């Protein structure tokens, strides 16, 4: 198992990710089998994809090469396409996309993204895209009775894997030239892991306690 820096993950990282994986499987199994929670997840995903469009567009001009400018522009176009697909699926299910979301998880990952150097922005983006792809993969595995949403996630994942790949390649080259960037990478990774674990445990705890009506307002991942 390797990350963008090209080195095997540490034993501590593996333990933390095992906890995250356990709770995320529990949470997404519940989300998949609840029409209300599944729509809430899709609505939040639509908001995140829409948020990403503006964020990426704001960073295109700050990329150091024409090649990376084109990759980020393509990334923004993909996120716009994703938001459209998700909105269409929500409408098929009889729901409208959200216009705003209180999302402490995203706020905990993307920190000062308009001002930071592009390498740090790529670190934040890589961490978030990796987690998003993992979440979609987990949820997809529980959607055997919902081929429409499962097909949507499969379409999204095709692009998300490409995003993780190009970001990882760019970061690997930067880490090779500037090892100090690894400190920023690990700081972002651990902030994300802790924020994510908090989000997953809230969902599982509320579900097990029977307070399921409160879950939508706490879904932030």
Q: pLDDT > 70: what percent of the chain?
A: 78
Per-position b or e across 24-46, b if 16+ CB within 10 A of its CB? bbbbbbbbbebeebbbbbbbbbb
14 alpha carbon, distance to own chain's centre: 19
Q: pLDDT > 90: what percent of the chain?
A: 42
Q: Is the pLDDT of residue 151 over 60?
A: yes
Give the per-residue pLDDT at 1.
39
Quick: pLDDT tens for 193-207.
Answer: 777 777 777 777 776
Band (pLDDT 50/70/90 cuts) for residue 14 is low
Cα separation, 192 vs 109, whole angstroms: 6
Give the per-residue pLDDT at 20.
66
Place of tokens 């790529």: 122
* pLDDT-wise least confident of 19-28, 32-41, 113-122, 154-163: 19-28
Give the per-residue pLDDT at 179.
82
pTM score, whole prediction: 0.83
Name residues whose C-beta falls within 8 Å of residue 214's C-beta, 6 or more positions apart in sequence: 206
- Averaged confidence pLDDT in the chain: 83
Give the per-residue pLDDT at 71.
97
Q: At what angle do helices 118-140 and 147-177 cross, to 10 degrees?
A: 150
Give the per-residue pLDDT at 115.
84
**Among 67, 99, 53, residue whose Cα is nearest residue 166:** 67
- Does the domain at 33-218 match CATH 1.10.10.1100? Answer given as no
Give the per-residue pLDDT at 2.
47
Pick the residue with more confidence: 47 or 111? 47
Quick: pLDDT tens for 109-145.
Answer: 566 778 889 999 999 899 889 989 998 999 999 999 9
Band (pLDDT 50/70/90 cuts) for residue 15 is low
Quick: pLDDT tens for 75-121.
Answer: 999 999 999 999 999 999 998 776 666 555 555 556 677 888 999 99
């Amino acid at each position: 198992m390797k990350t963008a820096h090209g080195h095997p993950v540490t034993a501590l990282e593996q333990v933390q990710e095992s906890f995250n994986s356990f709770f995320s499987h529990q949470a997404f199994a519940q989300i998949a089998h609840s029409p209300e929670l599944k729509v809430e997840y899709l609505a939040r995903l639509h908001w995140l994809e829409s948020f990403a469009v503006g964020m990426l567009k704001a960073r295109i001009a700050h990329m150091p090469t024409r090649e990376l400018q084109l990759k980020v522009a393509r990334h923004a176009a993909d996120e716009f396409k994703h938001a459209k697909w998700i909105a269409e699926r929500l409408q098929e299910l009889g729901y409208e996309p959200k216009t705003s979301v209180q999302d402490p998880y995203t706020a905990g990952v993307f920190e000062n993204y308009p001002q930071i150097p592009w390498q740090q922005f790529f670190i934040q983006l890589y961490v978030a895209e990796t987690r998003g792809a993992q979440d979609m993969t987990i949820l997809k595995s529980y959607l055997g009775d919902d081929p429409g949403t499962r097909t949507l996630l499969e379409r999204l994942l095709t692009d998300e894997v490409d995003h993780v790949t190009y970001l990882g390649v760019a970061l690997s080259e930067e880490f090779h030239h500037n090892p100090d960037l690894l400190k920023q990478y690990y700081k972002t990774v651990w902030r994300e892991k802790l924020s994510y674990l908090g989000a997953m445990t809230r969902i599982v705890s509320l579900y097990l306690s029977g307070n399921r009506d409160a879950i939508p307002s706490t879904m932030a991942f």
